[in-house]
Amino acid sequence: MSTATQTGCPECDGRLTTDASETVCSDCGLVVAADHIDHGPEWRSFPEGPSRERTGAPLTRSRHDRGLSTEIGRSTRIKGRKRRRLARMRVQHNRAQISTKRERNQVYVFTEIRTITSGLGLPTHLREMASTLFRSAQSEDIVRGRSLEGFAAACVYASCRVQQISRTVDEVVAEARADRAELRAAYDALNRELGLPTGPIAPVEYVPRYASRLDVDADVERRAREYAADCTESGVASGRNPSGVAAACLYTASRDLDGDVTQATAADVAGVTPVTVRNTYVDLRDE
DNA sequence: ACGATTATTGCGTTCTT
DNA sequence: AAGAAAACAATAATCGT
C-alpha cells in the first residue's frame, strides 16, 4: 500500500510513489497530491478562539464516564415496596450506564481519531484500523484509568506502525488532544495486551516527505533513498530513530551533490537535533 | 528496570563570504 | 575579519526491550 505506481508525473512523467498522505514524483519531487484538510467534526472548523470547545470544561480526563453520571441515591427513609422498586431501578439504570458509557467513549474517541488521521492526511482504512484497535482495547478492558485522548492518539500511531506508514510520535501528538506521555501510556498498554505486530519503520519511508519539505532536487532525493536503503542494510539504522536516519541521508545526499541543506535544516524537518544528524552522517560515511 | 540512543548545552575549530 | 556551519564533549532525558 505504500508504493503504488500508476500513470506518470504530470511534470516530468516520472514514477509516482504514494505514501499515506502524499503522492510524490520520485524523479522531480513534485508533490502531486497532499490533501490534509478535513471538514470533519465541528470544533475543528472554528479557528483560534479562547477555546475551541463549544461545550463546557468539566470533562475530566481518564475517568471513563468523563465526570458526567447520574446516581440513584439510597435513602434510609424509604421503606418497603417503594424501596425495592428503587433498588431495581438502580440496577437497571447502572446497567444502562455501562453500555452507554462505552458508546459515549467510542463516539468521543472515534471523532478524535478522525481529526487526527485527517490532520495527518492518513487514508480511511487506517482510520478504520485505529477505530477497531480502540474497540479491542475496550473489550480487553485496558482503557480504564488511562486517558481517552491518549488512546485515540495511540491507536492512530499504532496503526501507522503496523502498516509501515511513516509518522513520528511528535507528528501525531501535534494533531491530537493528548500529550506524549498519554500517548505512550496507551500505546504501551496496547502493545502489551494486544501484542501488536509493530516493526520499526524503514528510514526510506520518511525520505519523500522530508525531501519535499526541504525542497531538494529530485536526484538528491533519489540518492538519499539509496543511502537510506544502505543504512538499513548495513545496520547503521538499527536502533536509531528512523526519522533521524532519513534526515542524515538527505543531508549526505545534498552534500554530495552540492545542495544547500545544512545539518540544522535537515534535523529540523525530521524533528531531531543536528547532533543526531551528524552522528548518523559520520557512521554512514565510514561504511 | 536497564542499556543504548538522543537531547541539550557549551565551546574551540573550520569553512564561507 | 566576521559569521555561520560543523565538530566535540559531558550530562540529562528518553526510548526500546
A275 in contact with nucleic chain C (CB within 7 A): yes
Question: Which nucleotide is nearest, taking the CA of residue A277 and each C1'?
Answer: B6
The pLDDT of residue A246 is 92
Within this chain, do residues A184 and A141 fall inside the same structural domain, yes or no?
Answer: yes
The pLDDT of residue A124 is 93
Let me know: does A35 contact A121? Beta carbons within 8 Å. yes
**Better-predicted residue by pLDDT, A16 or A73:** A73
Within this chain, do residues A190 and A106 fall inside the same structural domain, yes or no?
Answer: yes
Within this chain, do residues A234 and A153 fall inside the same structural domain, yes or no?
Answer: no
Within this chain, do residues A186 and A211 fall inside the same structural domain, yes or no?
Answer: no
**Better-predicted residue by pLDDT, A17 or A94:** A94
The pLDDT of residue A18 is 53
Within this chain, do residues A156 and A239 fall inside the same structural domain, yes or no?
Answer: no
Q: Average pLDDT, whole number, for chain A? A: 75
CATH number of the domain enclosing A236: 1.10.472.10
Contacts of A77 (CB under 8 A, 6+ apart): none
* Mean pLDDT computed over A228-242: 85
pLDDT in tens, A122-177: 999 999 999 999 998 888 888 888 889 999 999 999 999 888 888 988 889 889 98
Contacts of A66 (CB under 8 A, 6+ apart): A59, A60, A104, A105, A108, A148
Within this chain, do residues A140 and A172 fall inside the same structural domain, yes or no?
Answer: yes
Question: Which nucleotide is nearest, taking the CA of residue A270 and each C1'?
Answer: B6
**Better-predicted residue by pLDDT, A278 or A80:** A278
Q: Distance between CA atoms of A106 and A142, rounded to whole angstroms?
A: 14
Tell me whether residue A146 is in a domain.
yes
| Nearest residue by alpha-carbon distance to C1' of C4 | A262
Query: Strand C within 7 Å of which CB atoms in A 219-258?
Result: 241, 255
Mark which of A142, A166, A194 sits at the end of a domain: A194
Tell me whether residue A46 is in a domain.
no
Within this chain, do residues A225 and A245 fall inside the same structural domain, yes or no?
Answer: yes
Tell me whether residue A91 is in a domain.
no
Please, what's the largest Cα pairwise distance for chain A? 90
Q: Distance, angstroms, CA A284 to C1' B4?
A: 19
The pLDDT of residue A247 is 92
Within this chain, do residues A107 and A188 fall inside the same structural domain, yes or no?
Answer: yes
| Nearest residue by alpha-carbon distance to C1' of B6 | A276
Number of domains making up chain A: 3
Q: Distance between CA atoms of A57 and A239, rounded to whole angstroms?
A: 42
The pLDDT of residue A10 is 46
Within this chain, do residues A179 and A207 fall inside the same structural domain, yes or no?
Answer: no
Q: Distance, angstroms, CA A244 to C1' B15?
A: 25
Within this chain, do residues A109 and A182 fall inside the same structural domain, yes or no?
Answer: yes
- Domain residues for the domain of A142 are 101-194
Here the cell at position A133 is 484497535
Neighbours of A204 (CB within 10 A): 23
A162 in contact with nucleic chain C (CB within 7 A): no
A279 in contact with nucleic chain B (CB within 7 A): yes
Q: Which of A18-22, A40-44, A238-242 is least confident?
A: A40-44
**Better-predicted residue by pLDDT, A53 or A148:** A148
Q: Distance, angstroms, CA A275 to C1' C10?
A: 14
One-letter amino acid for residue A245 of the chain: V
The pLDDT of residue A73 is 65
Tell whether the model's pLDDT for residue A116 goes beyond 90. Answer: yes
A192 in contact with nucleic chain C (CB within 7 A): no
Could you give the percent of chain A with pLDDT greater than 70?
A: 69
Within this chain, do residues A183 and A210 fall inside the same structural domain, yes or no?
Answer: no
The pLDDT of residue A93 is 67
pLDDT in tens, A74-88: 666 666 777 777 777
A272 in contact with nucleic chain B (CB within 7 A): yes
Within this chain, do residues A171 and A109 fall inside the same structural domain, yes or no?
Answer: yes
pTM of the prediction?
0.71
Chain B positions with any atom < 7 A from a protein CB: 4-9
* Mean pLDDT computed over A209-221: 88
Q: Which residues pair with A18 in a beta bridge?
A: A23
